[in-house]
Chain A
Amino acid sequence: DAGVTQTPRHEVAEKGQTIILKCEPVSGHNDLFWYRQTKIQGLELLSYFRSKSLMEDGGAFKDRFKAEMLNSSFSTLKIQPTEPKDSAVYLCASSFGGNYAEQFFGPGTRLTVL
Chain B
Amino acid sequence: DAKTTQPDSMESTEGETVHLPCSHATISGNEYIYWYRQVPLQGPEYVTHGLQQNTTNSMAFLAIASDRKSSTLILPHVSLRDAAVYHCILMNQGGSAKLIFGEGTKLTVSS
Asked if A14 is at the interface (CB within 8 A of a chain B CB), the reply is no
Which of chain A's residues have a CB closer than 8 A to the CB of B102? 42
Interface, chain A (partner B; CB < 8 A) = 4, 31, 33, 35, 42-43, 45, 48, 55-56, 91, 93, 95, 99-108
Main SS class of interface, B = loop
Interface, chain B (partner A; CB < 8 A) = 32, 34, 41-46, 49, 91, 93, 96-102
Which of chain B's residues have a CB closer than 8 A to the CB of A56? 96-98
User: Contacts A107-B42, A108-B42 known; A43 to B100 CB distance under 8 Å?
Assistant: yes
**5 A-B contacts (beta carbon < 8 Å):** A42-B102, A48-B97, A101-B91, A105-B45, A106-B43
A108–B43 CB distance below 8 A: yes
B49–A103 CB distance below 8 A: no
B93–A101 CB distance below 8 A: yes
